Structures are given as structure tokens and as C-alpha cells.
């Protein structure tokens, strides 16, 4: 009897404790409704709209909208631009993150702020700066024109604007992680006789590979989807300098709404694939993290 009584009260205390650790059901429900409603309203519905508009006239219309030379050209250009700008920003991001996290120097936070700057610069400005430099009325305009080098209104300009816009993505992803990991492992490697390259390749890279991929993914999504900056430097030549987002706008302006949303849906699909890949990476990242922590704990004990 007493035992039973005991367990009864302790059970009661337990539920009381649990109740105090979370919100009353009313609040819970309200928060859930608000949060999920907000997500559905602001994110779910726009996404659904893209696909319903694209499929408004059925699958055949959808597929034939995509099976069109100008659409192919836009996809090709978008892939080309991403294939050039993403690897460059990946290499730079690793270098910058290495420099910032493995060494102490003056002006470091200023440097980080500068690396971050493109993130808060309006895309319109990002395009404009390259027009000012390489446009015919710009600093190098006449020289470029005389030597028949095309930058603005051609692929190089679009690549430049894209690199600018996606500049911080990889470094931004790596810096916090590498800071957290510290420098002990690299120091140990160097003391054991590894050179810089070996240290990076054998010690650092395995530790950061998932975060790096993650940064590259986001960088890629943004590179393929950039609109404002690219629009300023593109020249909008159908089938030549239109990236997928620009082609979407053009189709939209041609009253070809199904085709516009069809191209847009490809970009949305890309976003979804990115997110799935990202979720997998995040999971791997957590695992790697746990493993790392465990190995350190083992080493210390």
C-alpha cells in the first residue's frame, strides 16, 4: 500500500513537472497553429502555385514548354554559369576559412565583414558595379571593345555577377565549424612532419567535407536562381544570354504563363533537391560532429 501510494505521488509529481516544462495545451495548440499556418501561407502556397500554374494545361503542355531551343539554351547557360562560379567560390571559401580560422591577425573581423558584404548588397547594385567597370561607358569599356573582348552582356559578365552574389556562401558555412574545431589537430599533424597541403588534405578536409558540400549546395542554388544582378548585366538576348530566371520573366512577359511557370518549376525542383540533399548532409554533419567529439573525449581520457 505505501509503495503504491508512493508511486502514485511520484507519478503525479512527474506529470506536474512535465507540465511545468512545457506550455499549457492551449498555448501549445496556438503556437503550432500559428507556426504551421505561417509556413503554409508564406512558403507552402507559393511553392504549390508554381507547380499548379505550370501544370495548368496538363503534362503535355508542360513538357513541350520545356522542349524548346530557347529554354534549352537558358538551362545550358545557367548550368555553365554555375559550373564556373561555384567551384571558384568553393576554392576561395576554403582558402578564406583556413586563413581566418587557423591564424590570429589584426583586422580579422573587418575582413569577415568584407567577405560578408555581398550578402547585404542589393542584387541590382551587384550588377551595376560590373556595368560601371566593363560597360562601354565604364573604365575598361573602350579597351575591351577595341580588343573585342565581351564581358558585359555575355557569359563572363553573368559569371562575374553570380560570383559576386554567391561570394560569402561557402566561407560563411565553413568558418563557424572550423572555429569550433580549433587548430589542435592541424598543429599535431605539422609537428609530426606533415606539410601544409598534407595537413589540409588529410586532417582538415575530412573534418569539414560535409559542411563544405553543404555550403557548395547553397551556393549553387543561389547561383542558379539569381535574378536581379544577372538581369542588369545580361542584355536579355533570347537563346543567348538569358539564364533560367531571366527566361522565366521573358516567357511571362510573352503571355506564355504555362511555359514561364514550367521553367520556374525546374528551378523550384532544384530548390527542393537542394533541400533534400541538405537534410542528408545535415544529418551526416551531426554524425561527424558526434564522432569528432567522441574521439576528442577518448583522446583526453
Q: Which of residues 16-75 bind another protein (CB under 8 A)?
A: 17, 20-24, 28, 31-32, 34-36, 38-39, 41-47, 49-50, 53
Candidates 15, 147, 253, 301; binder of another protein (CB under 8 A) is: 253
The rounded distance, in Å, linking the Cα atoms of 75 and 77 is 5
Contacts to another protein from residues 180-219, by CB under 8 A: 183, 186-187, 190-191, 195-196, 199-200, 213, 216, 218
- What count of other Cβ atoms lies within 10 Å of the Cβ of residue 60? 8
Q: Which three cell numbers stand for residue 221?
A: 542554388
Closest to another protein by CB, 33 vs 295, is 33
Candidates 65, 158, 170, 175; binder of another protein (CB under 8 A) is: 175
Closest to another protein by CB, 4 vs 300, is 300
Candidates 74, 115, 281, 288; binder of another protein (CB under 8 A) is: 115
Q: Which three cell numbers stand for residue 183?
A: 587548430
Closest to another protein by CB, 146 vs 300, is 146
Contacts to another protein from residues 82-101, by CB under 8 A: 83-84, 87, 92, 95-96, 98-101
Closest to another protein by CB, 3 vs 192, is 192
Provide the mask over 127-166, with x wherever binding to another protein is found by CB under 8 A and - wherever it is not.
-xxxxxxxxxxxx-x--xx--x-x-xx-x----x--xx--
Closest to another protein by CB, 109 vs 301, is 109
The rounded distance, in Å, linking the Cα atoms of 289 and 278 is 16
The rounded distance, in Å, linking the Cα atoms of 106 and 99 is 12
- Spatial CB neighbours of 270, under 8 Å, sequence gap ≥ 6: 221, 224, 225
Contact 185, 208 (CB under 8 A): no
Candidates 1, 26, 192, 276; binder of another protein (CB under 8 A) is: 276
Nearest-approach distance from CB 243 to another protein, in angstroms: 9
Please say whether the dihedral angle defined by the alpha carbons of residues 45, 48, 53 and 54, taken in this order, is positive or negative: positive
Please tell me whether residue 14 binds another protein under the rule CB under 8 A.
Answer: no
Closest to another protein by CB, 6 vs 14, is 14
Read off φ and ψ for residue 96, nearest 5 degrees: -65, -40
> Rounded to an integer, what is the distance from CA 254 to the centroid of its chain?
31
Contact 159, 153 (CB under 8 A): no
The rounded distance, in Å, linking the Cα atoms of 48 and 40 is 10
The rounded distance, in Å, linking the Cα atoms of 216 and 173 is 9
Candidates 111, 258, 292, 296; binder of another protein (CB under 8 A) is: 111
Provide the terminal-to-terminal Cα distance of the chain, rounded to the nearest Å.
47
Closest to another protein by CB, 269 vs 291, is 269
Nearest-approach distance from CB 1 to another protein, in angstroms: 28
The rounded distance, in Å, linking the Cα atoms of 39 and 48 is 12
Amino acid at each position: 500500500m505505501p509503495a503504491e501510494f508512493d508511486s502514485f505521488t511520484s507519478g503525479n509529481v512527474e506529470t506536474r513537472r512535465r507540465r511545468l516544462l512545457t506550455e499549457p495545451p492551449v498555448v501549445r495548440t496556438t503556437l503550432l497553429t500559428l507556426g504551421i499556418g505561417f509556413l503554409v501561407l508564406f512558403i507552402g502556397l507559393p511553392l504549390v502555385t508554381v507547380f499548379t500554374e505550370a501544370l495548368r494545361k496538363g503534362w503535355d503542355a508542360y513538357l513541350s514548354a520545356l522542349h524548346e531551343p530557347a529554354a534549352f539554351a537558358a538551362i545550358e547557360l545557367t548550368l555553365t554559369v554555375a559550373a564556373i562560379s561555384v567551384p571558384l567560390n568553393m576554392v576561395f571559401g576554403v582558402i578564406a576559412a583556413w586563413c581566418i580560422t587557423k591564424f590570429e591577425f589584426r583586422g580579422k573581423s573587418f575582413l569577415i565583414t568584407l567577405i560578408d558584404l555581398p550578402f547585404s548588397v542589393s542584387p541590382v547594385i551587384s550588377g551595376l558595379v560590373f556595368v560601371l567597370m566593363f560597360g562601354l561607358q565604364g573604365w575598361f569599356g573602350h579597351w575591351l571593345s577595341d580588343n573585342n573582348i565581351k564581358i558585359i552582356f555575355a557569359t563572363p559578365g553573368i559569371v562575374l555577377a553570380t560570383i559576386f552574389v554567391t561570394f560569402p556562401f561557402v566561407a560563411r558555412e565553413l568558418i563557424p565549424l572550423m572555429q569550433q574545431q580549433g587548430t589542435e589537430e592541424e598543429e599535431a599533424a605539422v609537428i609530426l612532419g606533415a606539410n601544409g597541403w598534407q595537413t589540409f588534405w588529410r586532417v582538415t578536409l575530412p573534418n569539414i567535407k560535409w559542411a563544405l558540400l553543404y555550403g557548395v549546395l547553397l551556393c549553387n542554388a543561389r547561383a542558379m536562381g539569381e535574378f536581379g544582378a544577372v538581369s542588369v548585366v545580361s542584355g536579355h538576348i533570347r537563346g543567348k544570354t538569358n539564364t533560367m530566371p531571366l527566361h522565366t520573366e521573358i516567357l511571362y512577359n510573352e503571355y506564355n504563363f504555362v511555359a514561364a511557370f514550367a521553367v520556374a518549376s525546374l528551378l523550384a525542383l532544384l530548390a527542393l533537391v537542394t533541400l533534400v540533399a541538405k537534410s542528408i548532409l545535415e544529418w551526416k554533419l551531426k554524425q561527424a560532429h558526434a564522432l569528432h567529439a567522441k574521439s576528442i573525449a577518448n583522446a583526453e581520457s
